[in-house]
Copies of this chain bind each other. A is one copy, B any other.
């Protein structure tokens, strides 16, 4: 069966990425690897929109989140977490595991934080050393106003740490221009790679925290990573095959142009939302992201049955809800290596599945809506 994945990570792999991993492995302590690694680090700066170094780790995105906490803080430090979904909660969980004192901005799942709430917290408690947030909260499909959050955090002495794991390459993120201190990303999303690499960029202000932080770290040591980077190396054996694959995907992003990549995500997200809405379904997240659309499943439709139908009959894999949203939403990712026909495909599978499950659907209507958005916007 032809299987097509529309999950918010892993995302589909371009042919260049797949084939690069079928090549012979090269040794990492060689000029050949260093040349590739330097190119990759340059490309990452472009995607991160930063002049600062982007550090590369062999881990999932959660590893890089932990790395930030282990490198920037000391036991008992106070931090503020925007908690509006599963990945906001993850910041809290890691922070607590490392002995930080955590205050939260609790946001209803499916909504975004108001920067003014964050500003108020920072004014009330001057000891807060960092604000943690997402760019896109993957569990709810919501995009956060990182520019707005940054402008209030930058009035304080706290640093802003943004989990852009699902957002990078799908949403505008001007790391340096907006004054975002730390950006975390992963390989299996907008970067169109298999999972296994994670990335962290740090501002000068963030590096100052590293100098004074006393939490234990070794594998995640940012200073070691930065020192190795200057020699085109990593402190420990890197995931060579994934780094070679990243060279390929970064080339694709450069060729298309980052602004065009993001615009493509914006249009596809709009097409999916228009199509879903005309099926009478409700978009769960607001404001909705360019990366993943969360859809409320109406009474009478079993979310898991719907996903199973789409997969069994059409080979289309979408995601369900996480935690308390399990069974209540489904999530369609339009992230990474996606084209117009992919979007028509997932929408068609959705409407045909709903039709066959007995939900009153007029066949072709949703596809038409998606086509209207796609043809109205020349990519």
Contacts and interface: CB of A to CB of B under 8 A. Distances in A.
Interface stretch (A47-55, A93-101, A199-207): A93-101
Given A5-B27, A98-B216, A188-B240, 19 more contacts: A3-B26, A5-B26, A9-B237, A10-B26, A10-B28, A12-B25, A18-B21, A22-B22, A27-B317, A58-B58, A58-B59, A58-B60, A58-B195, A60-B219, A62-B219, A99-B216, A195-B238, A196-B196, A196-B242
A34 to B, nearest CB: 14
A327 interface: no
Interface residues of A, number: 54
B18 A218 contact: no
Contacts of A194: 21, 25, 239-242
A277 to B, nearest CB: 26
Given A93-B218, A215-B216, A236 B24 contact: no
Interchain residue pairs A-B with the least CB separation, the first 10: A196-B239, A21-B21, A194-B241, A22-B22, A97-B218, A62-B236, A60-B236, A66-B219, A98-B216, A60-B237
B237 A188 contact: yes
Contacts of A19: 22
A237 B61 contact: yes
Residue of A28, A65, A218, A238 with highest tally of chain B CB at under 10 A = A218
Contact of A219 (B13, B63, B236): B63
A101 to B, nearest CB: 14
A186 interface: yes
Contacts of A221: 97
A305 interface: no
A23 interface: yes
Contact of A195 (B21, B98, B237, B317): B237
Contacts of A216: 70, 97-99, 215-216
A317 B30 contact: yes
Interface string A37-76: 0000000000000000000001111110110001000000
